Amino acid sequence: MKLRTILFVFAGSLLFAASIIPADAKAKKSKTLPAEVSMSKQVLQDKIRGAWAGQVIGCTYGGPTEFKYSNFIPDEYTIDWNEHLIKWWYDHVPGLYDDVYMDLTFVEVFDKEGLDAPVESFAKAFANAGYPLWHANLQARYNILHGIMPPASGDWRYNAHADDIDFQIEADYAGIMAPGMINAATSYTDEIGHIMNYGDGWYGGVYVAAMYALAFVTDDIPFIVKEALKTIPSQSRYYKCMADVIKWWEKYPDNWHITWALANEKYGFDIGCPSGYNSAFNIDAVINSAYIIIGLLYGNGNFYRTIDISTRCGYDSDCNPASAGGILGTILGFNKIPEYWKLPIYEVEDRDFAYTDISLNLACKMSFKQALQVIEKNGGSTEGATVKIKIQKPQAVRFEQSFAGHWPIAKKEIKQTPFKMGEYKFEGKGAVLSYHFILPKPYNVSDYEANVEVWVDGKLYTTVKLPTSGNGQTREVCGIWDLPLGEHKVALKWTNKPDDINMVIDNINIFSDKPAPVKHVDK
């Protein structure tokens, strides 16, 4: 056997032995950081490499489980790992690494245009990239290609997925480029995060970036989780969820399932996402962020337990262990990630990620270069073989709330063409209409856009253009917001319908000003 194979088998044996030893999850005493931290450039590079590698490893580990369980994934479900697994995903399902190549879009713009690159550069690079997108990213791309630029492109009034997980999984770059400088890290989330998200959706990226920044300068995981939360406004639902998870971990340090259950009972519902509301599917940033810190806190510095618990929490179970693995990989540095986990990295570290010209090794080089620039920009020093980092005390970003004054009360199936739907009546103050096209096969028209007028209560509300193919597609006709509370009528007029294409309005999500009362019948 090759030496690396022998190491893989040996490390696997050690992993099993370690996994049967109960983890001590008790909170460490909180501490403060010094005003300045020094580290060698070699250590900084190793931590950056650990950040990117940890993200790839966590994403790969959770990949086979994504959205297979609406509950937590039981221990009886075996999650495979082998020395060629990352290469297999690179070869067969490269889209798994959207966590990484989305990050790299922003890393590349910083590399080409510098730290002060305008948000328009990031938005255009994102919108015109070749990768497929979903949810908030998909709607943001549609918005940008149709003239709605950031921050409007991520605002809930133009993007019903504003609170989704999208920016949370793409914000690693901001923490990696700002080691120890927590406020610098969050500053690099603002304009970019509002390309696709708002409110709690933005906060997911702010919190992840803040934890990465702290992970460079302390190995105290409870401190990192608590200190990073100071960047989030305390009145937000996002803050309250993370604070509760920390509180429950302190109360139940030996059983993550209890904390998982309490988090889901209180926060496990999706308000905005049209496909997530009133379904077992949940892409909301709040609950998925909770799964990141459940993994970090209960993992207690053990790489396997950290990514395994974040994965077994469920829902977006590749993205959550990717973030947890990246943060812990930063703490450990690449050299201290167990060989069992990083062995598959060696096969792919010089291969470009799908849809990019950037490999894992190149990403590390670009992030290192940017980290040195951010250190200097924020009063530190990078002369010689050592960097001196000016540590920042966390400051909360501004408060914003998606869907203010709106609450989902129903999802109604329509399943009719716009013509057969006619005037659809609903009771509330807002609505989101989802749709799909029925296209002839083969379909070769790539530049057609349906021109659809949206009429509300007999008045033209907006006109939208809906492409049948290409990057500019979307899944929702539009959102309708801030109507007077009461009965309303919505109608769609398709003004340029071809003979061979049809459209089906799938569902309408209806919003009121407060949750609908639950009626219980006691018989």
Contact 340, 14 (CB under 8 A): yes
Alpha carbon of 371 to those of 24, 55, 70, 332, 377: distances in Å?
A: 33, 18, 38, 18, 10
For position 21, what pLDDT does the model report?
29
Q: How far apart are CA 286 and CA 58, in angstroms?
A: 19
- The overall pTM is greater than 0.85: yes
Domains of the chain: 29-390 (1.10.4080.10), 407-512 (2.60.120.260)
Task: Give the DSSP letter of residue 501.
Answer: -
For position 28, what pLDDT does the model report?
38
Residues with pLDDT less than 70, the chain? 1-30, 70, 445
Chain centroid, CA 347 distance in Å? 26
Q: List b or e across 132-143, with b for residues whose CB sees 16 or more CB atoms inside 10 angstroms.
A: ebebbbbbbbbb
For position 126, what pLDDT does the model report?
95
DSSP code per residue over 304-347:
HHHHHHHHHT-SSTTHHHHHHHHHHHHHH-GGGS-HHHHGGGGG
Residue 482: CB atoms within 10 A of its CB come to 11
The token pair that represents 18 in the structure block:
């370690």
Q: Which of 447, 451, 471 is nearest to 462 (CA)?
A: 451
For position 337, what pLDDT does the model report?
98
For position 15, what pLDDT does the model report?
41
For position 280, what pLDDT does the model report?
79
Q: List b or e across 428-452, with b for residues whose CB sees 16 or more CB atoms inside 10 angstroms.
A: bbbbbbbbebebeeeeeeeebbbeb
For position 427, what pLDDT does the model report?
97
Contact 324, 169 (CB under 8 A): no
In the β-sheet with 449-456, what is the strand arrangement from edge to edge? 424-428, 486-494, 449-456, 459-467
Strand duo 449-456 + 36-40: pairing: unpaired
Task: Give the DSSP letter of residue 153.
Answer: G
